[in-house]
Structure 1
Amino acid sequence: MIDTYIVPKIGAITLEKLKPLHIQNFYKSCIEEFGLSGTSALYCHRILHTALNQAVRWQLIKTNPTNMVDKPRKSKPEMKVLDTHEVDSLLNRIKDLSVYIPVFLAVTTGMRRGELCGLKWENVDLDEGVIYVKNQLQTIDNIKQIVPLKTAGSKRKVILLDYTISILKEYKDHQEENKKVYGDKYKTENFVLSHVDGTPFDPDYISRNFARWIHPISKELNMHKIRLHDLRHTHATLLLKAGANIKAVSERLRHTSVAMTLNTYSHLLPDMQKDAVRKLNDLFYKL
């Protein structure tokens, strides 16, 4: 980033002569001249900001000029979702891979990756078909830690599909077999998502693992190359297309408001409206 973008545009300007306007024009060049995304331009800003903060500490300059500019805005990733056929094809293709259960749960529950990694069996009631989402797993200072959800309102009850219940029962039996194989070496922390020795999955691990596999598999299956988080969007989209109430979907995903759900999935509303009118036509036809 420094060699390709920063140095060619402002590298010749000495520290004492570097002004906020130079930096603001550089950010504009990042997007208009170099064709960078907002996210990449923001990364350039962070590099400059960190470097110039060090210059202030060394008293090479009095103030950091990046503090006086409008920093680039991070690009909003394009949402991509799978249809039911693509979901089925993907799950069948990865069934024997370690990424299967995280992907399966993400697409059938809509849970976030941190919530999935922090899920323990004591919060899963397979008889009632319910998951109680209470915590999330994060890696802080290279240590995996169970931490509370962002807000108390993020805690929720997720009703499971019959299909999900049966797969989780098989998976739990498989974990019990691993416990026998590993004996005292098995990490008995009771995480749902875990390696064969019971060690919990790290959120970054499942994202990297998914990204590694989805690249060749998307080509093989002739479908979108999606992010792990797009599985949550896929879950919501399939619910809405199946006729689920928007408020129920919002509560299942634990969005801060129904308005957030509407804004996120507004692209579906025209088709949903057409479907609603068709159903109303059928109702009046029967009268």
Structure 2
Amino acid sequence: MAYVTTSSGIRKRMYVYGKTWNEADAKLTELKSMEHGGIPVPDSESTVAEFLAYWLAEEVEPNRRPKTYQGYASVVTVHLVPGLGKKKLRKLRTQEVRTWLNRLRNECQCCKREWDKNRTEPRCCAVGHCCQRKLSTRMVQYIHSVLRNALQHALREELVLRNVARLVRTPAPSYATGQGLPTSVAKLVLKELRDHRFYALYVLALTMGMRRGELLGLSWTAVDLERRTLIVATNLQRVGGELQLVQPKTASSTRTLPLPQLVVEALTEHQERQAQERAAAGTEWKENGLVFPSRIGTPYEPDNLRRSWGPIRRKFGLTHRFHDLRHTCITLLLDLGVPPHVVMEIAGHSDHGVTMKVYAHASLDEKRRALDKLSGELV
């Protein structure tokens, strides 16, 4: 037993317990050391679930983007509360977090959530043929990061002595290099889409490397065709079941880009096409100032844009996603010898390490030219 100052500012008598006398004595020594060092001792009896609810409401929702809050809340509800929610926050141990994460990584989600059992005709886990549908390495890492962020906030508020989640390591996911279209195929795609109502959008995706949400969230006020500039400052996302214009994820995602002639011409034609659509819609037109809205001016459903890419992909026998058009822009810029820091700013990456690690990859011909050049110097 020792008298210590708690995080609530009250001096209290606190007891320690252990399986052995040495364990209890070590805990008592730690308490006294904190008291002598002027460090308040956490005295909250709240559970992990109670703290996570407070953290989401008071820290995440007011200060983070809606999409971030939505992702955090989903992880808390689906994974953290069922797994660790009943444990006392201040008593949570590193070993408990590590054991729980290992179990989470190896669990079949179909068995755990009885997805197959709820099907009209069970075909795997419910009939004894486990489908081994486990969480991806990236998802486990994300769940761990949400817990780590929450406990870091608890540490700042002196509710815990240390962030036990930071002491646990999770395997890092491996990212494949960006798979862009070859230049010849990119030209064929643009030729095929020449009369498409979103031809200008595809031109922007291939030549400016803009993300899907950035394209659909682009407003005419951000486009200056006379000065040939474009400002990427909004992002269209589905949040809570509704399409919303939100701020970019990072400061580097907000950027001003010069417009090449191909883009200027495509946007000029698109502006005229949109004026015709506005006139045809009449009173049904809902003006939102968007460059790429629906046929009545409302925000365009992102999934519909993905579907519009499907016929083109099938026609040319491609396996590329719509997002790979952005990859095409970045990889072609790098192949043309554009400095990585310039490509980084065009793409809106936070640092050039992302640009080089995820997108940069040399072709066999490039490697051959490089090695031939080196061997030539040695002859």
Alignment of 1:1-287 (within 5 A): 24=102, 27-28=105-106, 39=136, 76=175, 79-98=178-197, 100-210=199-309, 213-214=310-311, 217-222=312-317, 224-268=318-362
Give the CA deviation at 1:208.
Answer: 3.5
Q: Is the contact made by 1:38 and 1:74 (CA closer than 8 Å) also made in structure 2?
A: no
Letter in 1 for 2:273: H
Give the CA deviation at 1:37.
Answer: 7.8
Report the Cα distance in structure 1 between the residues aligned to 2:100 and 2:299, rounded to whole angstroms.
47
Letter in 2 for 1:205: N
Post-superposition CA distance 1:10-37 (Å, at most 9, x none): xxxxxxxxxx98995795586xx95768
SS of the residue corresponding to residue 202 of structure 2 reads: helix
SS of the residue corresponding to residue 271 of structure 2 reads: helix
Q: Is the contact made by 1:119 and 1:133 (CA closer than 8 Å) also made in structure 2?
A: yes
SS of the residue corresponding to residue 227 of structure 2 reads: coil
How has the CA–CA distance of structure 1 residues 275 and 173 changed in structure 2, closer, same or farther, with 3 Å as cutoff?
A: farther
SS of the residue corresponding to residue 244 of structure 2 reads: strand
Give the CA deviation at 1:116.
Answer: 0.9
Report the Cα distance in structure 1 between the residues aligned to 2:250 and 2:178, rounded to whole angstroms.
24
SS of the residue corresponding to residue 239 of structure 1 reads: helix
Q: Is the contact made by 1:186 and 1:197 (CA closer than 8 Å) also made in structure 2?
A: yes
Post-superposition CA distance 1:233-283 (Å, at most 9, x none): 100111112221211111111211112212123423986687689999xxx
How has the CA–CA distance of structure 1 residues 28 and 99 changed in structure 2, closer, same or farther, with 3 Å as cutoff?
A: farther
Letter in 2 for 1:262: M
Post-superposition CA distance 1:29-75 (Å, at most 9, x none): 86xx95768649969xx9xxxxxxxxxxxxxxxxxxxx9x9989777
Report the Cα distance in structure 1 between the residues aligned to 2:373 and 2:100, rounded to whole angstroms.
60
SS of the residue corresponding to residue 315 of structure 2 reads: helix
Larger relative contact order (Cα-Cα within 8 Å, sequence gap ≥ 6): 1
Report the Cα distance in structure 2 between the residues aligned to 1:161 and 1:173, rounded to whole angstroms.
19
Structure number with larger C-alpha Rg: 2
Report the Cα distance in structure 1 between the residues aligned to 2:373 and 2:342, rounded to whole angstroms.
20
SS of the residue corresponding to residue 267 of structure 1 reads: coil
SS of the residue corresponding to residue 184 of structure 1 reads: helix
Q: Is the contact made by 2:214 and 2:235 (CA closer than 8 Å) also made in structure 1?
A: yes
SS of the residue corresponding to residue 281 of structure 2 reads: helix
How has the CA–CA distance of structure 1 residues 96 and 38 changed in structure 2, closer, same or farther, with 3 Å as cutoff?
A: farther
Q: Is the contact made by 1:39 and 1:72 (CA closer than 8 Å) also made in structure 2?
A: no
Post-superposition CA distance 1:176-231 (Å, at most 9, x none): 11222222321111100112211221333312432xx25xx434324x31111111
Greater shift in the superposed pair: 82-91 or 256-265: 256-265
How has the CA–CA distance of structure 1 residues 99 and 36 changed in structure 2, closer, same or farther, with 3 Å as cutoff?
A: farther
Taking structure 1 as the reference length, the TM-score comes to 0.67
How has the CA–CA distance of structure 1 residues 136 and 279 changed in structure 2, closer, same or farther, with 3 Å as cutoff?
A: farther
How has the CA–CA distance of structure 1 residues 150 and 41 changed in structure 2, closer, same or farther, with 3 Å as cutoff?
A: closer
Cα RMSD of the aligned pairs, angstroms, is 3.9
Report the Cα distance in structure 2 between the residues aligned to 1:234 and 1:152, rounded to whole angstroms.
23
In structure 1, the gaps of 5 or more residues are 1-19, 47-66, 281-287
Report the Cα distance in structure 1 between the residues aligned to 2:340 and 2:101, rounded to whole angstroms.
44
Structure 1 partner of 2:88: none
